[in-house]
Chains A and B, each alone.
Chain A
Amino acid sequence: MERKRLIIPLLAALSLCSSAGMAAPLVGAAPEGASQALVEAMDAAEHSPEDYAAMTALARQARAEGHLELCLDAWAEAERISGGNFETAAGQVEPALAHGDHRLARRAASEAVALAPDNAAAHLLMAEVWYQAPPAVPRALSHAKWENALATAAELRPDDVAVQCHLGWARLAVGDRLGARRAFVNAYDGGAPCASEGLAETEAAWSSTGGVYTSVLAYPTDANLGSGASLAATGSASYGDLVTVEILGRKSHLNTFDDRGFDAFDLSQSELWGRARLSHRGHGAELLLGTGTLTGDTLQNASAIGGRAWFTRGVTLWGEAARSTYTDGVNTQAAVGVSIPLATHLRFDAGLSRTELRATPGMGAESSGPHLSALLALTATYSRLTLSGGVRLGEEVRPIRLMEPGFWNLDGSIGSSAFVRAAVEVQEGARIYAGYDLVAEENSGLATPWGHVVSIGLEKTIGGRLP
């Protein structure tokens, strides 16, 4: 086929701020395999460079034949001719996405929304842009924008059952199971075939999860602490992803040595923890209660109460506080932090915690703190594998880790630590965990004050809707 030539302005991409006289012509050629219709459309556009209809017709014909660059050039030229309008903005979104130019698609969709904020189609285009966000865009952000655009479109077009279905899936993606359910019900009531799958997906159901974890711990350079192990079992029940109640029991053991290096008493610790959690749309709160019996050179009872709340808007902000009471003192702690999605598969967590022990006079403990400790962690998720690693910098005294509750019942404070974790979903609902913690004993006087904890675990979820 004869190759045709077409004048395409070089500055088309800048057309919104250019005038007709500013465009520099670029001579382009018809793409290989162009149909007669496309050649004629190019002829018409070349003959009437000021004719908007000719340029949009060329854009559409090029898109129909899969010539995305030509299509986008023609839309840009139409934008230049017209000074930019809703049609040129809207027209560029789909071919830009197909061409992999997400930045252009987002700019065009934003423009369409700005020009016609009351037009549902504009918001649907914006929704599509965020749905097709590239991996570099954090999923929490893209899903929130996707859901937001669809919610606006649904408001503007309440009878459109297809929009309701899309909205249902978007809400599910942002953790709004109740809202998703409402959207699917609306779609179902409107007779939409697309609603059935969503209704089944959002049908609230109880699920139960059981898990066992074991750890081995060792303080090889500490003359008084030896090695030990712990075994924990958890059970939880969840209603959808809205309500979770969990119970955890742990038995730990650590042998000790006296100053001459002979076996001394064994540290033994029994713990029972209960947790209740409410969550919705990335926001939530939980209450944690714990009790324990700590046997060593003396017998101690311990109890703890703590709470944690989080709020998500692009990033997740969280705060927590806990109070643990021992026979020899009362420990308080508070922490705030942020969880920032860096990309689809990557998350950064940072937090700052304050711990303080107020000793009960005459019980052998010494008051300590307040101490500050900073948490920095990265978590990467890919398919069924989750890897995380981080450090805690600073000093802590008897912390209660609300995410992984436990009594860290050491006489002294603990210093900086580092950890790595891995979790893999080996089959639907079944996960294996592995972790390693390196913990420094603060003020121990040891040249290498490190304690090592290696953990593995297995969890299985039964029933409900699996993620």
Chain B
Amino acid sequence: MNNTTRFACVIGLILSLGASAALAADPLSDRLQRSYELEGEGSYAAALAQLEGVRAEGDGAYVLLLRQGWLSYLAGSHADAVHAYRGAISQAPGAVEPLLGLTLPLMASKRWSEAVNACDAVLAVAPGHYLALSRRALSLYSQGRFSQAAIAYAALVQHYPSDVDMLAGLGWARLKEGRSGEARDAFSRALRYAPNHALAQEGLNAAW
């Protein structure tokens, strides 16, 4: 190695070390990293605590709120999760992920109308989004709006014909609508692809 080369390596090393030092010095990154580790250990409350008091702006503020929403949801603090996700949505109005995240605590707290609205908001930004469609269908079903749920499940089945969970959902919605014949068709289809699908089997038994 000649001197020029050696110098360049030293400079590179210095720059690299400098960059690491700069990242390590960002409290948001550090806290986020620690929260990932604690989440991995299942310590959701502790992970959430890591983010308390952190000040961030711009993208950082958005990520912080998104992360708080997720961890609050995992910790079972659904109201906090909703609050955090709504904050994230206001930070990034066109983003899909906070809207999608918002559906989770809403569904967990059985706020089905709001969950449907959140799913609709996702679909407005990302039409055909599978998770939004499936959560919307489940939310409608959970409200007892079986006709609408059946339409939603049928649309999903059209796009994902082998999705046995959606087939089972379609079957149950049809069954609750009193349309036993169509329910049996859906359950039978699901059981053809997944013979041990418990929900489909239970539905088929109920449909007779």
Binding site for B on A (CB under 8 A): 20, 48, 50-54, 56, 78, 81-83, 85-88, 90, 112, 115-116, 118-119, 121-122
Contacts and interface: CB of A to CB of B under 8 A. Distances in A.
A62 B78 CA distance: 30
B177 A115 contact: yes
Given A112-B178, A115-B178, A122-B178, A86 B110 contact: no
A118 to B, nearest CB: 7
A146 to B, nearest CB: 21
Given A20-B113, A51-B112, A54-B110, A90 B178 contact: yes
A56 B113 CA distance: 18
A118 B179 CA distance: 7
Contact of B144 (A81, A115, A119): A81
Contact of A86 (B112, B143, B177): B177
* 3 smallest beta-carbon distances between A and B, as pairs: A82-B144, A116-B178, A52-B144
7 contacts: A51-B142, A52-B142, A82-B145, A85-B146, A87-B146, A87-B178, A116-B178
B30 to A, nearest CB: 39
Contacts of A121: 178, 180
Nearest to B179: A116
Interface string B155-190: 000000000000000000000111111000000000
A48 B110 contact: yes
Contacts of B144: 52-53, 56, 78, 81-83, 85, 87-88
A83 B176 contact: no
Q: Is the interface of A mostly helix, strand, loop or mixed?
A: helix
A116 to B, nearest CB: 3
Contacts of B181: 118
Nearest to A117: B178
A115 to B, nearest CB: 6
Nearest to B173: A85
Contacts of A56: 144
A78 B178 CA distance: 16
Nearest to A83: B145
Nearest to A50: B112
A86 B178 contact: yes
A410 B41 CA distance: 112
B133 to A, nearest CB: 20
B201 interface: no
A119 B142 contact: no
Given A82-B143, A82-B144, A86-B146, A50 B111 contact: yes
Nearest to A79: B144
